[in-house]
Amino acid sequence: MRNIVAITLLLLAPCMAIYADTIELKSLEEGFEGKVIELAQDYIGVAISEKDVKSVTIHPNAQQAYPDIVSLHTSDTKLECKVISVSPDNIGIRIPKTEVLSIHVVFAPEVAKPEKTVGAGLPRPSVPKQEIEKEAETHAVEQPISREAAKEKIKKDVIQELRADKALEEEAWPSPQVFKEEIKKELKEELEEKQEVEEKVFQETKLGRVEGKILRKWQPLPDCEVRILMLVKAKIPLTKSFYQPELPTEYEGITDSEGYYHFINVAPGEYKIYWKPPTESCWIRRLDMKPDIIVEGGKTTYPKDIETFKRVLN
């Protein structure tokens, strides 16, 4: 909290010297006369005789700190300020201290204290009670504390924060059995996820694909069963994680409406192709036992089209 020093100058003087102080502003060529009634950190309070005031413009709902305008008879002077009170004798205003160049205060000779009469004394702006209380809270001066007292206060705050954090931690901490099950579940999910990634990488880089076509009198033959059988197994390099699943040596499928067959994730090696048309009960292959295809990892192999009308070996 910032410290604000407010000094209120209550000056008792004859009527001719009540508004004898001179305030010079940056925006005015000449100063104007009034009575300085308050000196705050951000502004000065001034009471101006109603005889010197030409007009007053008040903006009660404005957001600015100093939205009001007071026009004086002297040289058509206009003051940007905050009007805080209006009475038949004077106008109470606040002027931002950043606009003030100098303040010349006149102290009148000491006079005998007059008897109390109604309306006697220095005219002062009437300020609402609520505004006075608000100003008192705003300008309250924070009492300095010693280094030891500040140290103890910080220590107490830190201990309270640590206790609060510990209470939240104990409340959120599960029982040992529950905690163990949660850890096992998390590890299992991480292992499965890692295995899926390794399997995908292995399939894309270490295994191959086979795509071919079955014909009957040079027309696509649908619903024909196809089998590829490994003759010679190729060596598959190990992955960085040593992932090496057991791979089949035989794959079966069936042709689609266009006579095409497809095999994915085929282990590298040399294969013989067998087929069984819908009208046959036995598997058929070419006469020689040479490999029909050689599958390589990460590649697609396209065998020659097979014409089932030709006579081959059952």
CA–CA dist 290, 59 (Å, integer): 103
Between residues 178 and 288, the one the model is more confident about: 288
Residues 214 and 130 in one domain: no
Residues 212 and 130 in one domain: no
Residues 134 and 35 in one domain: yes
pLDDT recorded at residue 220: 95
Residues 212 and 129 in one domain: no
Contact yes or no for 32/77 (Cβ under 8 A): yes
Residues 130 and 209 in one domain: no
Residue 151 lies in a domain: no
Provide the domain limits for residue 252. 205-307
Contact yes or no for 31/59 (Cβ under 8 A): no
CA–CA dist 33, 84 (Å, integer): 18
Residues 131 and 31 in one domain: yes
pLDDT recorded at residue 65: 86
Between residues 27 and 117, the one the model is more confident about: 27
Segment 109-144, tens digit of pLDDT: 655 555 554 444 455 556 566 666 666 555 555 556
Residue 106 lies in a domain: yes
Is the pLDDT score of 249 beyond 90? no
Tokens (6 digits) for 253: 């499928």
Residue ending a domain, choose from 138, 157, 191: 138
Is the pLDDT score of 274 beyond 90? yes
Contact yes or no for 230/252 (Cβ under 8 A): no
Min mean pLDDT across 19-23, 62-66, 117-121, 237-241 is at 117-121
Residue 1 lies in a domain: no
Tokens (6 digits) for 94: 């606040």
CB atoms < 10 A from the CB of 167, how many? 10
Per-residue pLDDT band at 15 (split at 50, 70, 90): very low
Average pLDDT over residues 63-85: 85
Residues 126 and 238 in one domain: no
Is the pLDDT score of 12 beyond 50? no
Residues 47 and 129 in one domain: yes
Residue 108 lies in a domain: yes
Residue 152 lies in a domain: no
Q: Which domain CATH number covers 266?
A: 2.60.40.10
Residue 127 lies in a domain: yes
Among candidate residues 99, 102, 104, the one with its CA nearest the CA of residue 27: 99
Is the pLDDT score of 271 beyond 90? yes
Residue 126 lies in a domain: yes
Residue ending a domain, choose from 83, 107, 138: 138
Residue 228 lies in a domain: yes
Is the pLDDT score of 280 beyond 80? yes
Is the pLDDT score of 13 beyond 50? no
pLDDT recorded at residue 273: 95
pLDDT recorded at residue 9: 39
Residues 233 and 134 in one domain: no
Among candidate residues 208, 195, 191, the one with its CA nearest the CA of residue 267: 208
Segment 188-216, tens digit of pLDDT: 888 888 777 777 776 777 888 999 999 99
Tell me the Ramachandran region of residue 126: left when phi exceeds 0, alpha when psi lies from -120 to 50, beta otherwise. Answer: beta
Residues 120 and 32 in one domain: yes
Please state the domain count of the chain: 2
Residue ending a domain, choose from 109, 138, 167: 138
